[in-house]
Amino acid sequence: MFFVVLSVLLMFVDARFRYLESTRSALSVLVLPIQRLATLPLALLQEADDFFVTQSSLLDEKKALLRQRELDAVQLVQQQSLLQENLQLRQMLTLQKRDVFTAQVAEIVYAERDVFSRKVLINKGSMAHIQSGQVVMDDKGIVGQITRVYPWLSEVTLVTEKDHAVPVQILRNGLRSVAFGAGDTSHMLLRYMPVSSDIQNGDILVTSGIDGLYPPGIPVARVEKIERDAAYPFAHIDCLPIGGVDKYRLLLVLSSMPAQIERPVPEKLKIRKAGVH
């Protein structure tokens, strides 16, 4: 009761005469370290929270910048691709002057439903003077060859059709060979190449032009993997088609190559044919 009466008395005196202002100020100075110590964990927790929030914000900003850089890189690649495509289109337009053949644009309208058949149908046929054997390409390289012609449609056998052969040569050193389709739109094979052949990963294969069908110098495939085993006489060489055999709808149909000198027939074969007749 004494302390209760004392507290009430002190409160009355302080409220009426402000006698305890100096005492309260002195006590606040003494209590300040205790208050700071009591609030220290909360302050540390707040600073830690601010740190992690700032760290998370910086990480998000970094990710956004990285994504933007990737988008910018993609756009740069697209710009370069467009420039390269324009260059290739200009080069294709000048093929007529260099190789004495013309070209016309066609569009893919149908594709074979058989997953093992690498053939498509384009919207140009005999009415557009398309002939069997003509070469089909896009802005990057060889796509296939006309194998059947209808009045308004033509069948194109892709270079990736199984066992479809394209005479090629390595752009780096001129080594000739034959590229075969493997039945997969993203796969070709370079067969019968000796283990010691001068061929490397990344080599570009272009048409050699020695078959009289494919114009020379058009990209066909890129060497992706080479397996050499001394136990076998030939190396196993996988290639990736350069042309968009399963990507684009617009293609370029090249005119037939100029007629070449007829290949001479051996005398024995002539005698055999004469005997048959």
Condensed to tens digits (0 to 9), the pLDDT of residues 245-270 reads 777 788 889 887 665 666 666 665 55
Gap between the Cα atoms of 6 and 17, Å rounded:
16
Share of the chain above pLDDT 90, in %: 22
| Same-domain check for residues 76 and 177 | no
Amino acid at 155: E
Domain that holds residue 237: 97-254
Does a structural domain hold residue 130? yes
* Cβ-contact 232, 192 below 8 angstroms: no
CATH of the domain at 168: 2.40.10.340
* Cβ-contact 151, 205 below 8 angstroms: no
Q: Residue 82 in 3-state DSSP?
A: helix
| Same-domain check for residues 104 and 126 | yes
> Measured between alpha carbons, how far is residue 254 from residues 149, 155, 186, 258 in Å?
14, 14, 23, 12
| Same-domain check for residues 104 and 224 | yes
Does a structural domain hold residue 24? no
> Measured between alpha carbons, how far is residue 122 from residues 101, 194, 218, 249, 271 in Å?
20, 38, 21, 9, 44
Question: Model pTM greater than 0.75?
Answer: no
Domain endpoint, select from 53, 78, 93 = 93
| Same-domain check for residues 145 and 225 | yes
| Same-domain check for residues 238 and 183 | yes
Two tokens, residue 142: 């060889």
Condensed to tens digits (0 to 9), the pLDDT of residues 162-199 reads 888 999 999 888 899 999 998 887 889 998 899 888 99
Residues 6+ away with beta carbon under 8 Å from 220: 141, 142, 159, 166, 168, 179, 188, 205, 206, 207, 241, 242, 243
